[in-house]
Structure 1
Amino acid sequence: MAAFCEGFMLCGLVSGAERRRHRDGLQGVEEAGERDTVLVTDGGRTVTVYKVSDQRPLGSWAVRQGQQITCPAVYNHSSGEYVVVHDEKVLRVWRDDDVSLDKVFKATLSADVCRLHSLPDTEPLVLFRGGAVRHLDVLLTNPQQEIERIVREDEKIIWSQAFIDGGQPVLIFITEKNPDCFVYTWRPTFSACQRRRLLPAEDGSSVLHFAAVIKNRMVSLVLLYSSGHVRHSEVSFTPCDQEEEPQLLVSHLLKLPEPADTGALVILHNSYIATLTPSAARQKDCLCIWNTSFQTLQDSKEFSQKTWTQLWSYDGKLYVPHANSLLVLPYTCEPSSLASVLGKGREAHQSAPEAVTIMNWEALAGKTEQPKPPASRRTVRGKKVQSRGEETTSYSDILSDIQTAPETQIHALVQRIWMTTELPHFQLALSRATHGLVTRCRKEPTFYPQSSLIKLAESGVLSYSLCPELMTLCLEKQDVQTLQMCLEHFVDIPEDVLCSCLKLFLSVSEENLSKATISTKSAACYIKESDPTEEAMDTAPVIQNGFSPPTAEDSCDVQMLEKIPKGTKLSSPVTLRRAVLLNSVLLSPYSESFLLPHLKDLASEQVVLFLSYLNHLYKICSENVGLNLPGEERLSVTQVIDWMNLMLDANFTVLVLLPKAKPLLRTLQKFVRSQMKFFSELNKIEGSLSELQKSRRVSQNHGRYSIEVLELY
């Protein structure tokens, strides 16, 4: 998932009239050497360095009155200096301690400069309007050297970006010659720039903005079109035949909701991009984060005033010129997965898919032919081993001993496997050890080293696909403790196995639960086990003057949750240990389409018990007026409602025909009706406010601060 964090204003900008006199928006926001600092070049004469987290300037420089900065200033990582070009050809170089740009180094070049590009550990690149590229240090040795023209006379450079590929600088720039665009790539090893033609869109729309990133030694180019389409193309660095003009193939990436006449685009992550486009329907500019792998909207932010449709991204922050200020919007990007897109992924503090080691299977397949590495003395977990070859031999001995050693020695053998954590096949070693233990458990019914299996499951290295027979064995043995560890640490558990765990947790006897070592700390703060005597007193009918008062079960206006004294805990329909196990199921990732058929196999008693528990969790959330339960697991109310919907969809017919389920269904029905009534009233308020807003006359500007009173009635 990806989302915006709370933003803030970095600095104020010049007024709209002053900005239009020079250029629209800023010229650029660039990294300024140290982390958390940026170099801001406005549309006129000023360059300023800002400390982002402190929202304060560290230094500011301006060219003379009448001079004009013509490309964004950059930071030279090699020398620690700043570089800028004004009046197309005049180059200035200065340091932090310089006060005035009039007294710093100045060089007049022989050709107009289009853009400066700064890269780490190398000299900045200077891109001229004619398409020629020079390193800054080479250019400064002879500023008046002849600059050749690469692009054709009728082409204009509209975008450029520099990268580091294989330790060498790479530059890509795009020229425009209506209606065509041409992509040029430059690197020091080329004798000339490589030129490719970018075919125009079939629908006749124009390209609004470009973004690029290096992927697999190729430039991955993303294009934003005025039709609202975002397309993608791959640009190779391999030299092409200059006699034939290669054409770049463009593929569809995603479609924005509305077309636009202007917009900006940046790449945030391998699977995420950010777009800034105006919305004609809302009359506002909208900043969105999109998942390109699944074509889903992750987060969006609307601006009350128009932006300049400019967008930069550095160090996990987006920079947006908005009205007369520069806004900073931090964002977060998690690795893209189907579970996260469906909203069923684990919370951030739990085991994530990226924690699982990826094996080098090709190396393992030919390990018998690999030469023995030279001996080396090193320490692994405090013990000295002689060589990689001896470690492999020891690992093979452990696997052999697991099949014959007494159960009391299994824990020590598993501990020895942890001494091989620096081997490239450590994950395979754990999976083979797990497979060996499970195989022996099936051969010897009395053999079951539970503590060793738990240690292997909670290692964070294994997954269900590496040892699927482990959870099957635990289900047969009704080992709820090991199953809980698997649910917490395995990220690829199939839905049928997840449903089998749910069945076991709902049906396992209290005697078996009492024997299992289950930590109840996470749920103890909100789960109160019911007392049979209290339950009997609560369910006994209240008789007044010889008759019972009528119930209000059929009333639509009865609120589902009665007011509960503050500080008291609702009695749970399940015990604390069973609640912890059920929570581990609720927190597991799943897909609704695959889980729904398996939920139909639950017994009616299990369905009623599980729904009662889900209803109990929702009552706790409603009592606390929060979106998460107070425990350490951070179980959210959304997860509870999703599971409740799944259970009702899968077993509604059974519940309707089951007499003992009727009170529960009535309770859920009252809740739904009360929520519908509540949201209906909210819609009325929203309509009233909308009409009031339309009827208001356009208010005059009362300055930077004013108080307005709206009379609703």
Structure 2
Amino acid sequence: MAALCEEFTLCGLLSGTGVRRQQQQQDGLQGVEEAAERDTVLVTDSGRTVTLYKVSDQRPLGSWAVRQGQRITCPAVYNHGSGEYVVVHDEKVLRVWKDDDANFDKAFKATLSADVCRVHSLPGAEPFILFRGGALRFLDALLADPQQEIETVVTEDEKITWSRAFLEGEQPVLLFITEKHPDWFVYTWRPAFSACQRWSLPPATDGSRVLDFSATLKNKMASLMILFSSGHVRHSEISLAPCDPEVEAELVVSPLLQLPEPADAGALIVLDDSYIATLTPCAAQQRDRLCIWNTTFQTLQDNKEFTQKTWTQLWTHDSKLYIPHGTSLLVLRYTCEPSCLASALGKGTHKSAGDAVSIVNWEALTGKSEQPKATAPRRTPRRRRPPASSEEKSSFMEILSNIPTTPESQIPSLVQRVWMSEELAHLQTTVSSVTQGLVTRCKTESRFYPQSSFIKLIESGMLSYSLCPDLMTLCLEKQDVHTLQLCLEQFVDVPEGVLCACLKMFLTVDEEILSNTVMDTKSAASYVHVNEPPNPPEEAMEQEPAPVVQNGFSSPVVEEDSCDVQMLDKIMPETQGSPVSLRRAVLLNSVLTSPFSETFLLPHLKDVASEQVIILLSYLYYLYQKCSENVTLNLPGQERLSVTQILDWMNLILDAHFTVLVLLPKAKPLLRTLQKFVRAQMKFFSELNKIEGSLSELQNVQRRPRSHGRYAIEVLELY
């Protein structure tokens, strides 16, 4: 689920009059860019001013303006490497300054030899300049020689209308889009390759206009989203793999979302892997409307209407939306929870549960159709790529045909050809088919098992359990815990039966296998501490004297009169070592953070052996102790293991094995510990409820009118 939270006004905008006011009303803002800290932004208006704001305090930290008669022509950005600000005014004049530079005229100035379109800056990378001719230069290289010759990349009459920078690893990636009416072109640029790759966008079949673009980057694939005046939102996948720059390819555009009504203007921005925000005018009520959409299930999550003009501009930084509204800049906080069907029906999410699942062409997967259904008549672009040769058309079939005979040492290079294939529109189908082909060969050849290739295919993000159900079954047979862990992290549709099978394997696999497995334990090591030898909670409780039994009934547990922190410390004196090793804990965490449904998981949990149940329950109790020690709802680390997930699994284990645990002597000390702790928690929260009742009564007290003197004394009686 996604929702809009509180809103507030960051600053006023139309402070000037005359020409400046008319210019701002026409153009809106130049941009809202992130600054040095997460809670600071740089606001560049369409006139002469750049202002640094502290968002939470709603106050300016600094403001700089160019001279009268000059005009800023691109948004100011922050250089994360040097701590300086960069802006361009009057198309060619580059300015660089710092926080303590009060006089903007004395800041560093360099006049460039070509017009600048945009300055892009990313944390961890050097800023770079995008010129109107499509050329790019890093900032330091440009400052060393401001008058260097700048080449022209785009063709004549092409105009850059949108650009977006990403960071892949440690290298920046740039996408920019040009318009040459009526054609649109997409350019991709990476520093590792000297030339830009150009793609053509097919026009809308209904004749609608393009209103805005947005994009995300994941697994070396850029997902471009386009908002049309007809209300359609379409998307296209762009590969960042190197290819022939002389050949222009046409992108395949697929429908993603349909807005309720068409619009003459609009803004689009990606909030999450599964959520986007749109800002469009509502013709019926003559108001602009902000909507958050779930693209996975195509549902409206939240919306807000504005009574004044918004200029249809959107920016997002640090889970906040920035919208010019009337004469002010409005800030709206929003939340985006992971989106998956399993989490909607049951319990539990993990960090990749919000990954958008691509729509699969099942006919192509089963071989009934070679091409996807066309949504529009085919159109010949201005520079259409040459017809595919027979060798290119058969590249996919060639990879599949070579899987049964290729030596295992050459399988990684064969899998690498999947991403170099021309069939980018069917990449998900290709990846699933290659994975299934490798699994089929593993079943016929017992010694064949290309683990590294399986890992690469899983990490591509193109696989799911439903696309290759036999993969996890094979990994269970091979006891490949590393690949199973990746599957649980990447797949959002793992059945509860397979999830329980992974749980049983993780609980019983030998420590020798775990020690030889490549595994990232840095995250769990911050809260999983193993003593030598480990002392599970049940061992410590075995020394307690058994309760006195009379006539078959035991006396009630003596409850302490106090339920303060001392009593909680008495029941939980000190967290002992983890009952499982660090590597086993990492594997168990991947199961605990996986999506599941209680109804479907409970029958499979009943098949877990009693010894494994005690180990798992002891580990869950250990995790809960860690949360209680730090008074936190989430444990640190990438898994984001929460108290809710721990309690859900603890309840499921007790429901599935309650009779066995009651009759099992080894489990009684642990159950007794849990009983005492739950009793203490109940008393503690009971006292909190009493305090809450007293505070609520205070709110209902009718205060007597104060006297007209300088002061008054009031006495409030609680009892």
**TM-score (ref. length: structure 1):** 0.57
- When residues 451 and 218 of structure 1 are mapped into structure 2, their CA distance, relative to the original with a 3 A threshold, is closer
Deviation, structure 1 residue 35: 2.2
- 1:439 equivalent to 2:609? Answer yes
- When residues 321 and 239 of structure 1 are mapped into structure 2, their CA distance, relative to the original with a 3 A threshold, is same
Deviation, structure 1 residue 240: 2.5
Deviation, structure 1 residue 241: 2.4
Structure 1 CA distance for aligned equivalents of residues 181 and 350 of structure 2? 47
Deviation, structure 1 residue 205: 1.5
Counterpart of 1:124, as a letter, is P
- 1:286 equivalent to 2:277? Answer no
- When residues 381 and 469 of structure 1 are mapped into structure 2, their CA distance, relative to the original with a 3 A threshold, is closer
Q: Provide the residue aligned with 1:604 in structure 2.
A: none
Structure 1 CA distance for aligned equivalents of residues 577 and 688 of structure 2? 40
Deviation, structure 1 residue 466: 12
Counterpart of 1:20, as a letter, is Q
Counterpart of 2:658, as a letter, is C
Q: Provide the residue aligned with 1:225 in structure 2.
A: 228
Deviation, structure 1 residue 234: 1.3
Counterpart of 1:7, as a letter, is E
Which of the numbers 64, 70, 92 marks the counterpart of 2:67?
Answer: 64
Q: Provide the residue aligned with 1:82 in structure 2.
A: 85
Counterpart of 2:588, as a letter, is Q
> Deviations 1:409-429 (Å, cap 9, x if unpaired)?
9xxxx9876241454654189
Q: Provide the residue aligned with 1:264 in structure 2.
A: 267
- When residues 126 and 428 of structure 1 are mapped into structure 2, their CA distance, relative to the original with a 3 A threshold, is closer
Q: Provide the residue aligned with 1:2 in structure 2.
A: 2
- When residues 53 and 247 of structure 1 are mapped into structure 2, their CA distance, relative to the original with a 3 A threshold, is same
- When residues 458 and 338 of structure 1 are mapped into structure 2, their CA distance, relative to the original with a 3 A threshold, is farther
Structure 1 CA distance for aligned equivalents of residues 80 and 611 of structure 2? 61
Which of the numbers 588, 591, 612 marks the counterpart of 1:427?
Answer: 588
RMSD: 4.9
- When residues 379 and 317 of structure 1 are mapped into structure 2, their CA distance, relative to the original with a 3 A threshold, is closer
Q: Is the 8 A contact 1:19 1:25 kept in 2?
A: no
Q: Is the 8 A contact 1:435 1:467 kept in 2?
A: no
Structure 2 CA distance for aligned equivalents of residues 122 and 428 of structure 1? 34
Counterpart of 1:427, as a letter, is L
Q: Provide the residue aligned with 1:685 in structure 2.
A: none
- When residues 366 and 188 of structure 1 are mapped into structure 2, their CA distance, relative to the original with a 3 A threshold, is farther
Structure 2 CA distance for aligned equivalents of residues 440 and 173 of structure 1? 59
> Deviations 1:347-370 (Å, cap 9, x if unpaired)?
xxxx765599x9744477998777
Highest RCO, 1 vs 2 (Cα 8 Å, sep ≥ 6): 2
Which of the numbers 127, 130, 133 marks the counterpart of 1:124?
Answer: 127
Structure 2 CA distance for aligned equivalents of residues 25 and 379 of structure 1? 47
- 1:40 equivalent to 2:201? Answer no
Which of the numbers 20, 43, 56 marks the counterpart of 2:22?
Answer: 20
For residue 252 of structure 1, give the secondary structure of its aligned residue in structure 2. Answer: strand
Structure 1 CA distance for aligned equivalents of residues 46 and 310 of structure 2? 15
- When residues 341 and 468 of structure 1 are mapped into structure 2, their CA distance, relative to the original with a 3 A threshold, is closer
- In the comparison of the two structures, how many residue pairs are matched? 473
Q: Is the 8 A contact 1:312 1:320 kept in 2?
A: yes
> Deviations 1:178-231 (Å, cap 9, x if unpaired)?
222111011111121110111112222122111112111221211111111111
Counterpart of 2:11, as a letter, is C
Structure 2 CA distance for aligned equivalents of residues 471 and 155 of structure 1? 66
Structure 2 CA distance for aligned equivalents of residues 451 and 220 of structure 1? 43
- 1:94 equivalent to 2:84? Answer no
For residue 5 of structure 1, give the secondary structure of its aligned residue in structure 2. Answer: strand
For residue 27 of structure 2, give the secondary structure of its aligned residue in structure 1. Answer: coil
Q: Which runs of 5+ in 2 are unaligned?
A: 354-458, 460-480, 486-505, 547-574, 593-603, 626-642, 701-719
- When residues 407 and 427 of structure 1 are mapped into structure 2, their CA distance, relative to the original with a 3 A threshold, is farther
Deviation, structure 1 residue 337: 3.1
- When residues 313 and 32 of structure 1 are mapped into structure 2, their CA distance, relative to the original with a 3 A threshold, is same
Which of the numbers 110, 113, 136 marks the counterpart of 2:139?
Answer: 136
Deviation, structure 1 residue 474: 3.3
Structure 1 CA distance for aligned equivalents of residues 322 and 543 of structure 2? 64
Superposed counterparts of 1:135-174, under 5 Å: 135-174=138-177
Q: Is the 8 A contact 1:195 1:245 kept in 2?
A: yes
Structure 2 CA distance for aligned equivalents of residues 300 and 293 of structure 1? 18
> Deviations 1:561-595 (Å, cap 9, x if unpaired)?
xxxxxx99xxxxxxxxxxxxxxxxxxxxxxxxxxx
Q: Provide the residue aligned with 2:433 in structure 1.
A: none
Structure 2 CA distance for aligned equivalents of residues 225 and 379 of structure 1? 48
Rg larger for: 1
Q: Provide the residue aligned with 2:489 in structure 1.
A: none
Counterpart of 2:48, as a letter, is R
- When residues 175 and 448 of structure 1 are mapped into structure 2, their CA distance, relative to the original with a 3 A threshold, is closer
Counterpart of 1:420, as a letter, is S
> Deviations 1:318-361 (Å, cap 9, x if unpaired)?
1100111111111111112337768xx77xxxx765599x9744
Deviation, structure 1 residue 471: 3.6
- When residues 261 and 429 of structure 1 are mapped into structure 2, their CA distance, relative to the original with a 3 A threshold, is closer
- When residues 429 and 230 of structure 1 are mapped into structure 2, their CA distance, relative to the original with a 3 A threshold, is closer
> Deviations 1:500-547 (Å, cap 9, x if unpaired)?
xxxxxxxxxxxxx99x969655996999xxxxxxxxxxxxxxxxxxxx
Structure 2 CA distance for aligned equivalents of residues 255 and 408 of structure 1? 68
Q: Provide the residue aligned with 1:200 in structure 2.
A: 203
For residue 579 of structure 2, give the secondary structure of its aligned residue in structure 1. Answer: helix
Structure 2 CA distance for aligned equivalents of residues 33 and 297 of structure 1? 34
Counterpart of 1:3, as a letter, is A
- When residues 103 and 370 of structure 1 are mapped into structure 2, their CA distance, relative to the original with a 3 A threshold, is same
- When residues 214 and 430 of structure 1 are mapped into structure 2, their CA distance, relative to the original with a 3 A threshold, is closer
Q: Provide the residue aligned with 2:335 in structure 1.
A: 332
Q: Provide the residue aligned with 1:672 in structure 2.
A: none
For residue 173 of structure 1, give the secondary structure of its aligned residue in structure 2. Answer: strand
Q: Is the 8 A contact 2:8 2:331 kept in 1?
A: yes
> Deviations 1:231-278 (Å, cap 9, x if unpaired)?
111111112223431111112221111111111111111111111110
- When residues 435 and 273 of structure 1 are mapped into structure 2, their CA distance, relative to the original with a 3 A threshold, is closer
Q: Which runs of 5+ in 1 are unaligned?
A: 386-390, 487-512, 528-566, 569-623, 626-713
- When residues 96 and 467 of structure 1 are mapped into structure 2, their CA distance, relative to the original with a 3 A threshold, is closer
Superposed counterparts of 1:181-580, under 5 Å: 181-338=184-341, 360-362=482-484, 372=516, 385=532, 418-423=579-584, 426-427=587-588, 439-440=609-610, 455=621, 471-474=655-658
**TM-score (ref. length: structure 2):** 0.57
Deviation, structure 1 residue 169: 1.1
Structure 1 CA distance for aligned equivalents of residues 305 and 526 of structure 2? 56
Counterpart of 2:609, as a letter, is T
Q: Which moved more, 1:333-342 or 1:218-227?
A: 333-342
- When residues 77 and 16 of structure 1 are mapped into structure 2, their CA distance, relative to the original with a 3 A threshold, is same
- When residues 370 and 67 of structure 1 are mapped into structure 2, their CA distance, relative to the original with a 3 A threshold, is same
Deviation, structure 1 residue 55: 1.1
Fraction of identical pairs, as percent: 56
Q: Is the 8 A contact 1:19 1:44 kept in 2?
A: no
Q: Which moved more, 1:250-259 or 1:152-161?
A: 250-259
